[in-house]
Amino acid sequence: MRRGAVRHGLIGGLALACLAAGQAASAAPSRLDAGTAQAADRLPLGPASLMETRTPRQVATGVTHIAIERGQSSPDDFWTVTVGVASTEAEAAELERQIRAAGYEPRRDATAGTSPLSPGDQPLGWMVRVGRFAGQQAAQAAAAELAAKGVRGSVQFTGEDGRATTGPWSLDVLIVDPRRFSGRLGSELATGIVPGRETTSSIAQRTGALAAVNGGYFVISPNEGGKPGPGLAGTDGDLAGISVVRGDLVSEAVNGRPALVIPTDSGTGTAVRRLKTLLSVRTGGERREVTGLNRQPGLVVNCGGVGDAYPLAQPAHDYTCGNDNEVIVFTPRFGTAAPQGQGYQVTLDGNGTVVSAQEGRGGAVPAQGSLLQGTGTGAGWLRQHARPGVRLKLSRSVVDAERGMPLPIQPQTSIVNGGPLLVRDGEVALDPVRDGWSPQDIDGADRGAFYNGWYLRRNPRTAAGVTRDGRIILLTADGRRPAHSVGLSIAEVAQVMRGLGAVDAINLDGGGSTAMIVDSALQGVPSDSSGERPDGDAIVVLPER
């Protein structure tokens, strides 16, 4: 139990009521709702009888943090070695054959959820496994013995599978009430520019934040050769989706995916929207679509790109699509040096006039102005139309993809990428295929195993949502530490956000990126053994200046 924790059963909804109202409150009913100080009596995790403690504290006027501890380790959970995830009988039988050939007896455990590509309640498949071990070391020893015989497997804890368990869970919730908060809520780039990463703790310290949580998805370990395929390739720290920082569009959208829109400094009007970006360059009567902003040409992180993007145009999480015919715009937000490579490049001054042009890509990004890089037909367009002295007009707009209307971007606007959508109009609204988590394989990449591990199994999570009366809920859940917290599946984080009163909610980056900082202190325990992971951006709660 964290220091200062109170047993939830003794005070009912006091903790979240205090959090919502920013002052002492009595026991509260079911959830945060319009104009009330209501809150979930208990988190919708495990049996209702589980012990739960909540520790609230006011961070600033209109900003409250609550630490929540729930449940305990289940005697039914154990360590095991997962050799593979099979979606068909033939795949499962082949994995079992390999295991038996190595001298071990296999076991099939059904995945915790169904396939969104199959009708009815057909399971996604099976996790083909070896052993039931009381401790992690014994499972690791078995995995090493299997590997020595040519059978590779991963050590996993069954409490993280996504099926019924008693926990434990350790979560942190931050509520910002724009009606009472006089500071600024918004996004902040790691290192202040696109390249490079920074821990949420460091971002909070650098900006003087009262509190902060990690933000959206980003490139952390470019895939081999920086080519299209599984994983995210490109510039280290490159945001893998839309980003707007203080009104400045930094990164284009993964078209159609949801994002958190914070239109004002106080957070008033914060919403979850499905967005797309429309970018173009024009000279005279000639127009060319701009396919990206502040990223490596040819690498469309999380897919969902435009133009000649391949192998697919729709979102695909943790996959890098390609495009051989691009025009990419670089602004000072990218830093001082543009990516190098083949193609064509032009530099614009602050008025949009081409001041230089060159074969090949690379060199300085102007502090006042922009730089355009072209590949394939994009390079050909620049050669023909962007000669020195010509004035180009760059157009950038963000569009609400569902309403078909431009989204106003003001100097104080922030937008943070994320997904999947968790809650819409007060109801769980999961659509993994639409949001890019389809288990359908792409060019032979096993997306079924990815879907099981990322979406159905429990992991550390970060999420954001909005209540009916406009309060902002920021949630982090520790995971991958069985004795401390087993984490949340995507279905569970959606239910938790709805239970906390969110009428709209979105999942943000999680796993090793999950981090919440309050009063300069890291809350919870990072899942990476090395500690807090450097991220691409963060959501910061700044004091009034």
Close Cβ partners of 93 (under 8 Å, ≥ 6 residues apart): none
pLDDT at 285 (0 to 100): 87
Note whether residue 195 is domain-resident. Answer: no
Note whether residue 336 is domain-resident. Answer: yes
- Of 478 and 20, more confident: 478
Residues 257 and 349: their CA atoms lie apart, in Å, by 33
What values do phi and psi take at 109, rounded to 5? -115, 125
- pLDDT tens, position by position, 241-262: 999 999 999 999 999 999 999 9
pLDDT at 275 (0 to 100): 98
* Residue corresponding to tokens 């709209």: 504
pLDDT at 118 (0 to 100): 86
Report, as an integer, the average pLDDT of 61-88.
97
Last residue of one domain, picked from the residues 359, 376, 406? 406
pLDDT band of residue 148 (cuts 50, 70, 90) is: very high
- pLDDT tens, position by position, 158-189: 999 999 999 999 999 999 999 999 999 999 99
Note whether residue 474 is domain-resident. Answer: yes
pLDDT at 15 (0 to 100): 42
175 with 31, same domain: the answer is yes
Number of structural domains (the chain) is 3
With a cut of 80, say whether residue 224 has pLDDT above it.
no
350 with 467, same domain: the answer is no
With a cut of 60, say whether residue 11 has pLDDT above it.
no
482 with 347, same domain: the answer is no
With a cut of 60, say whether residue 36 has pLDDT above it.
no
With a cut of 70, say whether residue 7 has pLDDT above it.
no
With a cut of 50, say whether residue 373 has pLDDT above it.
yes
- Of 496 and 31, more confident: 496
pLDDT at 210 (0 to 100): 98
Residues 20 and 30: their CA atoms lie apart, in Å, by 13
347 with 488, same domain: the answer is no
251 with 384, same domain: the answer is yes
With a cut of 70, say whether residue 533 has pLDDT above it.
yes
pLDDT band of residue 120 (cuts 50, 70, 90) is: confident
pLDDT at 32 (0 to 100): 41
Q: List the domain range (segments joined by +) for residue 23.
A: 6-73+165-184+418-542
Strand partners, 83: none
Reading the block at residue 238, the tokens are 């490159």
33 with 86, same domain: the answer is no
Please choose, from the candidates 389, 205, 234, 203, the residue with its C-alpha nearest in 3D space to the C-alpha of residue 297: 234
Note whether residue 344 is domain-resident. Answer: yes
Q: Compute CA 381 distance to the chain's CA centroid, rounded to the nearest angstrom.
A: 35
Three-state secondary-structure class, residue 253: coil
Please choose, from the candidates 343, 367, 339, the residue with its C-alpha nearest in 3D space to the C-alpha of residue 355: 367
What values do phi and psi take at 207, rounded to 5? -95, -5
Outline where 47-128 has alpha helix (H): 89-101
User: Strands, E, within 365-486: which ranges?
Assistant: 370-374, 393-400, 405-406, 414-417, 421-424, 427-428, 461-467, 472-477
pLDDT at 347 (0 to 100): 98
- Return mean pLDDT, the chain: 92
Note whether residue 302 is domain-resident. Answer: yes
Residues 188 and 541: their CA atoms lie apart, in Å, by 10
| Other CB atoms within 10 Å distance of the CB of residue 321 | 25
For residue 116, the domain's CATH number is: 3.30.70.1070
Note whether residue 206 is domain-resident. Answer: no
| Other CB atoms within 10 Å distance of the CB of residue 10 | 9
276 with 361, same domain: the answer is yes
**∠ Cα 255 260 261 (to 5°):** 95
With a cut of 50, say whether residue 55 has pLDDT above it.
yes
pLDDT band of residue 12 (cuts 50, 70, 90) is: very low
Last residue of one domain, picked from the residues 364, 385, 406? 406
Which DSSP category does 498 fall into? H
What values do phi and psi take at 539, rounded to 5? -100, 120
What values do phi and psi take at 377, rounded to 5? -65, -25
400 with 445, same domain: the answer is no
Note whether residue 199 is domain-resident. Answer: no
Please choose, from the candidates 133, 116, 132, the residue with its C-alpha nearest in 3D space to the C-alpha of residue 124: 116
279 with 363, same domain: the answer is yes
Strand partners, 338: 363
With a cut of 80, say whether residue 225 has pLDDT above it.
no
pLDDT at 10 (0 to 100): 30
Note whether residue 205 is domain-resident. Answer: no
Last residue of one domain, picked from the residues 378, 406, 434? 406
374 with 272, same domain: the answer is yes
Bond prior to 315 in cis (omega within 30° of 0): no
Cβ burial, residue 545 (10 Å; 0-12/13-18/19+): exposed
- pTM for the whole structure: 0.93
Residues 509 and 249: their CA atoms lie apart, in Å, by 20
- pLDDT tens, position by position, 330-349: 999 999 999 999 999 999 99
Reading the block at residue 394, the tokens are 């760059």
With a cut of 50, say whether residue 38 has pLDDT above it.
no
436 with 386, same domain: the answer is no
pLDDT at 445 (0 to 100): 87
CA atoms within 13 A on the CB side of 526: 20
395 with 524, same domain: the answer is no
Taking CA atoms, 484 is separated from 1, 285, 421, 515, 544, in Å, by 10, 62, 27, 15, 36
Contact 326, 376 (CB under 8 A): yes
